[in-house]
């Protein structure tokens, strides 16, 4: 890894991660397959998997083959599943590395079967059913196609799953309709003599609110990292945000009334103002939409971002906060200790969701793990 000379880091609280896993376990007795795609929602996938594995988790879900291969390099003894599509041409890699693909086309299953036969191995597969998400998956009427897939040599049809489009909304009618379609298809497969041991449908909100969706396996993502799938959903659960973003002050000065800060003079001082500069910006995931619109915490006090967030630097107003010095630590985005500046709050300001904020913390920011 590149050596880090600038004082910016994302702190990842492993005790909070474990706490969140234990909270999830209160909601379900089904097996938990944590979703660790996108570098574990920005938290650093290798460390996250190491901790969860120590807590007894055996199976992990990622979005793409390259993410699974990265994990396979570090962990030979976990079950890995790719929950997004993998092109048929990469079937041999899947078989060789023992990675479970999502199957949503007969062609893809045929290629995998051929690879398994050639390598003299059995490839586990999970079939994805589109019951209403409208993204990927065999449509729920694809009984004949699934029958064909189930007869292909070299494959073990271990799982069947679907994804819910509205599990985080106040109205769960559509989610129940999706589950009904899924159940109906599963029953018909069973009657046709196709027994599939694992069914799964539950993302985070469904794990918390829809016990009917738990089946044999749940696939929570965001709540593991301590954030709610939508504002207000299961607030009482007590998840703890795991990541905070921190930096140290690299420059400090006082400007006069009428002087400005940053590009476009977006901030103009209306009084003598003490300005501190932080060495991070939108290239690190501190979004430009936070210009003049966010507060950071220094010495337990709030200090507003002033002017435009730059690519690599951001200015804050520390007027009236005593003894602010070069090198002082600033919390730019808070974990559970500073919920008022959490990723969820940041998402609200930027009109997005906490997922996008967390995934957006850039690769230039080193992850520092605390409370192992
Ligand atoms: C991302 C994803 C999840 C996890 O979703 P959360 O809302 O983060 O819990 C589960 N299943 C699938 C198919 C996904 O793509």
| Ligand 1 nearest atom to the CA of residue 63, by list position | 15
Q: Indicate the pLDDT class of residue 235, thresholds 50, 70 and 90.
A: confident
Catalytic residue among 18, 27, 37, 41: 37
What is the per-residue pLDDT for 2? 59
> Domain boundaries in the chain?
14-224, 243-370
What is the per-residue pLDDT for 233? 79
Structure tokens at 81: 């599943």
Whose CA is closest to 94, among 110, 82, 76, 106? Answer: 82
Round to whole Å and give the CA distance between 143 and 52: 36
Closest C-alpha residue for ligand 1 atom 11: 203
At 86, give phi and psi (nearest 5°): -120, 130
Closest C-alpha residue for ligand 1 atom 6: 221
Percentage with pLDDT > 70 across the chain: 99
Q: Indicate the pLDDT class of residue 231, thresholds 50, 70 and 90.
A: confident
Round to whole Å and give the CA distance between 159 and 166: 22
The predicted-structure confidence for 35-83, as pLDDT tens digits, reads as follows 999 999 999 999 999 999 999 999 999 999 999 999 999 999 999 999 9
Average model confidence (pLDDT) across the chain: 96
**Class of the domain covering 14-224:** alpha beta
The predicted-structure confidence for 3-43, as pLDDT tens digits, reads as follows 789 999 999 999 999 999 999 999 999 999 999 999 999 99
Structure tokens at 116: 């398994």
243-370 classified as CATH 2.40.37.10: yes
41 is catalytic: no
At 94, give phi and psi (nearest 5°): -55, -45
At 147, give phi and psi (nearest 5°): -60, -45
Q: Residue 1 above 60 pLDDT?
A: no
- Any atom of ligand 1 within 6 Å of the Cβ of 222: yes
Each as own residue / partner, the long-range contacts of residues 345-350 (CB below 8 Å, 24 or more positions apart, any chain) are 346/287, 346/290, 346/294, 348/231, 349/289, 349/290, 349/293, 349/294, 350/287, 350/289, 350/290
- Any atom of ligand 1 within 6 Å of the Cβ of 229: yes
The predicted-structure confidence for 309-354, as pLDDT tens digits, reads as follows 999 999 999 999 999 999 999 999 999 999 999 999 999 999 999 9
Q: Indicate the pLDDT class of residue 371, thresholds 50, 70 and 90.
A: very high
Q: Residue 230 above 90 pLDDT?
A: no
pTM: 0.96
């Amino acid at each position: 890894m590149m050596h880090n000379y600038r004082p910016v880091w994302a702190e990842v609280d492993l005790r909070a991660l474990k706490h969140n896993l234990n909270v999830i376990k209160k909601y379900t007795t089904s097996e938990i397959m944590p979703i660790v795609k996108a570098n574990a929602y920005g938290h650093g996938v290798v460390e996250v998997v190491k901790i969860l594995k120590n807590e007894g988790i055996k199976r992990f879900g990622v979005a793409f083959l390259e993410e699974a291969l990265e994990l396979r390099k570090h962990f030979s003894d976990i079950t890995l599943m790719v929950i997004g599509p993998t092109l048929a041409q990469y079937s041999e890699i899947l078989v060789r590395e023992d990675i479970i693909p999502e199957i949503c086309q007969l062609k893809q299953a045929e290629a995998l079967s051929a690879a398994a036969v050639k390598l003299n191995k059995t490839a586990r597969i999970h079939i994805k059913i589109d019951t209403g998400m409208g993204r990927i998956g065999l449509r729920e009427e694809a009984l004949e196609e699934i029958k064909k897939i189930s007869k292909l040599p070299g494959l073990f049809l271990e799982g069947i799953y679907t994804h819910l489009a509205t599990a985080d909304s106040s109205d769960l009618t559509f989610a129940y309709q999706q589950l009904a379609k899924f159940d109906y298809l599963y029953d018909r497969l069973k009657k046709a003599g196709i027994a599939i041991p694992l069914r799964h449908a539950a993302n985070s909100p469904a794990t918390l609110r829809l016990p009917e969706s738990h089946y044999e396996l749940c696939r929570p993502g965001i709540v593991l990292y301590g954030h709610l799938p939508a504002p207000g959903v299961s607030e009482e659960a007590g998840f703890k945000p795991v990541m905070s973003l921190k930096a140290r002050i690299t420059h400090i000065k006082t400007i006069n009334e009428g002087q400005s800060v940053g590009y476009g003079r977006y901030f103009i001082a209306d009084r003598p103002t003490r300005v501190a500069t932080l060495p991070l910006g939108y290239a690190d995931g501190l979004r430009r939409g936070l210009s003049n619109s966010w507060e950071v915490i220094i010495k337990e006090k709030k200090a507003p971002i002033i002017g435009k967030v730059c690519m690599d630097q951001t200015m804050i107003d520390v007027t009236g906060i005593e003894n602010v010095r070069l090198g002082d630590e600033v919390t730019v985005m808070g974990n559970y200790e500073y919920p008022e500046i959490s990723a969820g709050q940041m998402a609200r300001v930027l009109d997005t969701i906490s997922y996008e904020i967390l995934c957006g913390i850039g690769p230039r920011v080193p992850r520092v793990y605390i409370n192992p």
